[in-house]
């Protein structure tokens, strides 16, 4: 049987994920949110023994909302999660009206990902909650300059039974993943293969597809855990993006400091200025090492092969390894600068010692000549 598929039971989870602070003390944040519905987030279908979350995010239910996108108004719940890494993720869990045509979703998802109303709503909620938790947010970001948007379509049932081979052939799926609207030019075969070639499934009646902009999940048992995995992965991406840009700024500043000190060798003769710079570099190195370890250890799966595959596929698709390599290369540059500064300190101390020796010799000669002159 062929024809237009209509969604009987489904949701679109619209995420806005921000680097909101240097870190969150989740215990203190939970205490500050006593009047709100706050709890530590947990996966729905994963056994606790199979999931290792170093510091489970704090989940806050922010009420309900209405969002209009692509000519459709959707109702849903707003859930905000604070991660210990300093990330705040807002998820709008929007319910799809029963009977929604699958072919309408590309336009809807594209408009949700590019929606100023959603951007403003989510940013205001993050600022409000960050202000509420107070000191639990260390060095809160004022601008919320690093943000990732992402949509996950969760479908539990269609208006009729469907085989996965038929579902994979639905033109709407690739358009959803790539952020293309229905009236866009037809996608090339290469683009279709790239978008649909990374399908994942565990049971024969489920399908997970993901790309940079969005993911599509068909699971009669509910695909919320897949959405949670993608949210965890997105917060890792946001953190690496933030620290990559942060290191660019810091390296520019460090180069300026090194150049400034090199122009004033006599002021730095005893190594004081260079010593302070070396200390600053070492503290920065320690901080960044701690941050990358915290990001890497934020989620580990054991005994859940399917969700582990979803996580690894998302890590690859979001290009997290490339972001990590970029951060690590800049950390290596800092190590090299530490070595350079230490070498300069040693050189300056050698110059100072040699200068002191010469001055002592000159002083001794002067004293000797003065004594001879007096006689």
* Rounded Cα–Cα distance for residues 357 and 326 (Å): 47
Cα angle value 54/60/64 (rounded, 5°): 145
Of 168, 150, 156, nearest to 317 (Cα)?
150
pLDDT band (50, 70, 90) for residue 1: very low
- Three-class secondary structure of residue 38 per DSSP: strand
DSSP-derived pairing of the beta strands 87-95 and 72-82: antiparallel
Per-residue pLDDT band for 270 (boundaries 50, 70, 90) equals very low
> How far apart are alpha carbons 146 and 151 in whole angstroms?
17
Residue in this structure with the two tokens 């293969």, named with its chain if needed: 193
> Comparing 138 with 345, which gets the higher pLDDT?
138
Tens-place pLDDT, residues 156-183: 999 999 888 888 888 889 889 888 765 6
pLDDT of 344 strictly over 70: no
Q: Helix axis angle, 171-178 relative to 189-196, nearest 10°?
A: 80
Q: What is the pLDDT of residues 280-320, one digit of tens each?
A: 777 777 777 777 777 766 666 656 788 888 888 998 999 98
70: pLDDT strictly greater than 50 = yes
Burial code (b: 16+ CB inside 10 Å, e: under 16) for 162-185 equals beeeebeebebbbbbbbbbebeee
Q: What is the DSSP string of 195-237?
A: HHTT-B-SSTT-EEEE-SSEEEEE-TT--HHHHHHHHHHHHHH
Residues 6+ apart with CB under 8 A from 236: 295, 298, 299, 315, 318, 320
Which of 57-66, 197-206, 270-279, 323-332 is predicted least confidently? Answer: 270-279
Q: pTM of the predicted model, to two decimals?
A: 0.81
pLDDT surpassing 80 at residue 278:
no
What percent of the chain clears pLDDT 90, i.e. is strictly above it? 38
Q: How many CA atoms lie within 13 A of 29 on its CB side?
A: 29
**Residue 329, pLDDT above cutoff 70:** yes
- Which of the given ranges, 63-72, 178-187, 193-202, 359-368, has the highest pLDDT on average? 63-72
Q: What is the mean pLDDT of the chain?
A: 82
Let me know: does 50 contact 271? Beta carbons within 8 Å.
no
Q: Within its chain, how far is the Cα of 69 from the centroid?
A: 26
Reported as a single tens digit per residue, the pLDDT across 235-267 is: 999 999 998 898 888 888 877 777 776 666 545
pLDDT of 218 strictly over 80: yes
CA nearest to 17, candidates 240, 231, 296, 314: 231
Residues 23-69: pLDDT tens digits? 999 999 988 887 666 676 666 655 555 556 667 889 999 999 999 98
Contact in structure between 290 and 343 (CB atoms under 8 Å): no
The residues spanned by each domain of the chain are 7-224, 235-371
Instruction: Please write the tens of the pLDDT for every residue from 352-361.
Output: 677 777 888 8
């Amino acid at each position: 049987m062929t024809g237009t598929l209509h969604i009987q039971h489904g949701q679109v989870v619209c995420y806005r994920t921000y680097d909101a602070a240097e870190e969150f003390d989740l215990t203190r944040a939970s205490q500050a949110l006593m009047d709100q519905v706050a709890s530590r987030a947990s996966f729905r279908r994963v056994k606790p023994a199979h999931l290792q979350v170093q510091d489970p995010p704090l989940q806050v239910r922010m009420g309900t909302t209405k969002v209009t996108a692509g000519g459709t108004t959707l109702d849903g719940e707003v859930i905000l999660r604070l991660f210990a890494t300093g990330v705040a993720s807002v998820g709008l869990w929007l319910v799809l009206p029963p009977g929604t045509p699958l072919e309408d979703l590309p336009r809807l998802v594209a408009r949700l990902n590019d929606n100023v109303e959603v951007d403003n709503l989510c940013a205001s909620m993050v600022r409000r909650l960050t202000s509420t938790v107070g000191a639990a947010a260390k060095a809160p970001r004022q601008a919320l300059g690093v943000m990732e948007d992402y949509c996950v379509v969760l479908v539990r049932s269609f208006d009729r039974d469907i085989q996965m081979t038929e579902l994979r052939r639905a033109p709407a799926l690739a358009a959803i993943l790539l952020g293309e609207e229905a009236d866009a030019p037809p996608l090339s075969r290469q683009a279709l293969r790239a978008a649909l070639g990374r399908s994942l499934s565990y049971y024969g009646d489920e399908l997970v597809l993901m790309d940079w902009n969005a993911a599509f999940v068909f699971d009669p048992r509910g695909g919320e855990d897949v959405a949670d995995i993608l949210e965890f992965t997105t917060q890792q991406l946001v953190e690496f993006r933030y620290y990559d840009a942060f290191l660019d700024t810091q390296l520019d500043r460090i180069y300026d400091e090194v150049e400034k000190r090199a122009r004033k060798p006599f002021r730095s003769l005893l190594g004081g200025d260079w010593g302070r710079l070396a200390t600053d570099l070492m503290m920065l190195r320690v901080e960044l090492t701690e941050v990358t370890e915290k990001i890497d250890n934020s989620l580990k799966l054991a005994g859940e092969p399917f969700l582990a595959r979803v996580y690894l596929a998302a890590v690859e698709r979001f290009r997290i390894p490339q972001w990590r390599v970029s951060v690590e290369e800049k950390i290596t540059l800092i190590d090299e600068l530490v070595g350079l500064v230490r070498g300069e300190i040693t050189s300056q101390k050698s110059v100072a010692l040699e200068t002191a020796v010469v001055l002592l010799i000159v002083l001794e000669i002067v004293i000797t000549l003065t004594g001879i002159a007096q006689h």
